[in-house]
Amino acid sequence: MTNILVEWVIKTVVILLILVTAVAYLTFLERKVMGWIQLRVGPNRVGPWGLLQPLADGLKMIFKEDIIPSQSNQWLYILAPALSLVPALMTFIVIPYGSEITLFGRTIELHVTRMNVGLLYIFALTSVGVYGIVLAGWSSNNKYSLMGGLRSSAQMISYELALGLSIVSVLLYSGSLDLVEIVNKQSGWLGHTGWNVFRFPLMFVFIIFYIASLAETNRTPFDLPEADSELVAGYHTEYSSMKFVMFQMAEYLNLITSSSIATALFLGGWNGPFVGRLPILGPVYFATKALVLIFTAMWIRYTVPRFRYDQLMRFGWTTMLPVAIINIIITATVIVLFP
Amino acid sequence: MPSLESIEISRLWTLASIDRANLRTSWIMVNYVPVLLILILAIGMATVILVLSRFAARNRPTREKLLPYECGVEPVGTSRERQSVRFYLVAMAFLLFDIEAVFLIPWAVVFRGVLESETYRNLKWVFYGEMMVFMVVLFVGLVYVWRKGILEWNR
Amino acid sequence: MEKASIIIFFVFAAAAVLSALNILLQRNPLYSALSLIVTLLSLSALYLTLHAEFIAVIQIVVYAGAIMVLFIFVIMLLNVPAAQPQIEKQKGLRYLAIPFAGILIAETFYVVLSIGKRSMPSVPAGTEAQAVGTTWSIGTSLFTDYLLPFEVTSVLILMAVVGAMVLARREGD
């Protein structure tokens, strides 16, 4: 019993450390990508090639003054960023990063835990993540925050439907909610032909899932309720210093989560050439695919203009949702007709 | 005639298999302990971050800093004004379609297994058709919401 | 192993009861809604101890994730103020409440104490008791034994959609 407990603790701590570093360097990557797309160099002063920039940013944010607005609802004001951050961190224990490696004579499976309902667990955490935003908007005692919070959470719940329904299409093929099993089923010839994205209806479902996840994590082009020049930064207007950092961390963590889920569901997770012989390649492939999706999200951010809020809601309900439903019908029909 | 020892052994074996079954399912639920673990660690991390800013940052509140931000002018009106009822409608529609998704998920998970299993093979088209009926009914609901203009957010 | 499951049960049961009490004791309706969310999360953990993992997660997705979002939106839209202490108009009702509460408590005790003594008609013979809350069993029984309630549910959801939209919209809005 203690063996398993120690294993869990070590895996969880390693994952948390990797995540915190990843979030910090994602902010750096975002600024670099923004720079390159805008034909300039991003931050490159603070260390070799600017690599210590996240450290400088972090230190700056720690020393900023923490202003709590006077009439705000103090308890909720402090709780809201934690309510946003904690579910974002909790999703990473069910994602498989590799098959298994042998270290010090023990076989270690590269996922923290394996749940029969892993995918639903992630869906549940996304549903709980809405509360951080709506409570932040309310507790700030600022009408722009309230409007931004309500709009942002209404957007999140609208696109959560399209997200959930696109997951159903994948479930029709894989027959299990367990992410480990979904990834295991995607190993084809030389590790790349079995990916879900190469099956007929699922290539479109991947696009729906990706767009819905961009909207779910409040990334551009869906970031009207929180963009810097609209609605005075929306629900995190009144937040300063570390609470603001927690919101930004939660946003980047959600981006990493959606990219990781997308690679696990559609791009074959850790599958790739020669993974059977060299299991350490599993996490490498996984990280590469997730980074490609993250880079694409950043690329889209600096290429496409923002949606107006009513266009966004209309798109979510009248286009994404019906297309997801039709995809489920088509996938089920394909499975029934061609077993 | 079976000896007392063999009866005793078979009874113990039965008990042990029941126990093993219990233990097996208990070990499945043990998979959920890391959820608690990472919950505690994540709450700890959030607390550390909050406490860090409390101690490391300066704290010099002035009246202007504590007012709600309204592009630099004095705030006008209360911050808790009535919002549009459209948010309620969106939340209600989300709830109902979420319930639909909840019904879709076990169907999707068992769908392929049902098509291939022996017991349910005759019910293949029933399984398929039932859910199509369900989805068509809900699609009608979506079309209703769409046509009634609930989804239009023009102010 | 046994001791751990007993501890877990009592921790989450206490959390559920305390947050349920907190719903009643809070003046601010938003805090009551948040306590309700905590109650639902504790109940979900209790479902996990009963090996019903699918139900536990769906409880969070639907109840704590959709229904409570609806509640919180309504509280915020209507700007429901914190409850003010009010003067009791009819003092006699207080004395009427005590025997009724006593009857309710007696009923609850009766139901709880007779659980082991009556036969439960729900689980058909031959199924494993541990397989009730799993996704496979729910999926198959939903479409074989419980098909009619399932289809009726779809019509019920349609009714709820239409009803909510009709009631909440004003004409010309």
C144-170, pLDDT tens digit by residue?
888 888 889 889 999 998 998 888 776
Average pLDDT, chain B: 76
Q: What is the ipTM of this complex?
A: 0.89
**Contact of A173 with A239, CB cutoff 8 Å:** no
Domains of chain B by residue range: 1-60, 83-155
> Which subunits have 3 or more CB–CB pairs within 8 Å of chain C?
A, B
3-state DSSP: chain C helix, strand, coil percent, rounded to 5?
75, 0, 25
pLDDT of residue C12: 93
Q: What is the identity of the amino acid at A129?
A: G
Q: Is the pLDDT of residue B26 over 70?
A: no
pLDDT average, residue stretch A241-269: 91
Residue B20 has pLDDT above 90, yes or no: no
Question: What's the CATH fold of domain C1-83?
Answer: Four Helix Bundle (Hemerythrin (Met), subunit A) (1.20.120)
**DSSP-based three-state secondary structure for A141:** coil
Residues of A in contact with B124 (CB under 8 A): 336
Average pLDDT of C121-132? 50
C69 to chain A, any CB pair closer than 8 A? The answer is yes
Task: State which residue of chain B sits closest to A329, comparing Cα positions.
Answer: B132
**Nearest CB neighbour to C134, from listed A116, A123, A135:** A116
DSSP E strands in A25-90: the ranges are none
> Is the pLDDT at B61 greater than 80, yes or no?
no
Look at C64 and A128 and tell me if their CB atoms are within 8 Å: yes
Integer Cα distance of B153 and B84 in angstroms: 10
Nearest to C66 among A127, A138, A146 (CB): A127
Contact B98 C66 (CB under 8 A): yes
* Surface of C (26-45) touching B: CB under 8 A: none
8 Å CB contact of C60 and A127: yes
Give the global pTM. Answer: 0.88
**Span A117-145, mean pLDDT?**
89
Six-digit token string for C15: 């959390």
Given a cut of 60, whether residue B15 has pLDDT beyond it is no
pLDDT at B25: 45
CB spacing of A146 vs C76 below 8 angstroms: yes
Q: What is the pLDDT of residue A231?
A: 61
Q: How confident is the model at residue A223 (pLDDT cuts 50, 70, 90)?
A: confident
Cβ–Cβ below 8 Å for C30 and A76: yes
Q: Which of C20, C21, C25 is nearest to C37 (CA)?
A: C20
B28 and C CB contact within 8 Å: yes
List, in order, residues 6 or more apart from B142 with CB less than 8 Å away: A317, A321, A322, A325, B97
**Residues composing chain B:** 155
3-state class of A262 per DSSP? Answer: helix
**Is C40 near chain A, with CB under 8 Å?**
no
Is residue A51 within 8 A of residue A60, CB to CB? The reply is: no
The reply to whether residue C57 touches residue A121, judged by beta carbons under 8 angstroms, is: yes
pLDDT at position A201, please?
Answer: 85
Q: Tell me if B25 and C164 make a contact (CB, 8 A cut-off).
A: no
Which is higher by pLDDT, A96 or B52?
A96
The answer to whether residue A45 scores a pLDDT higher than 90 is: no
Mean per-residue pLDDT over chain A, rounded: 87
Of B31, B58, B91, the CB nearest to A115: B31
Residues in B closer than 8 angstroms to A309, CB to CB, are 153
Number of helices (H) and strands (E), helices first, in chain C? 7, 0
Q: By the CB < 8 Å criterion, does B123 face chain C?
A: yes
CB contact under 8 Å between B85 and C138, yes or no, is no
Say if B154 is an interface residue toward chain A (CB within 8 Å): yes
What are the tens digits of pLDDT across the range C17-50? 999 999 999 888 889 999 999 999 999 999 988 8
- A69 to B93: CB separation less than 8 angstroms, yes or no: no
Chains in contact with chain B (at least 3 beta-carbon pairs closer than 8 A): A, C
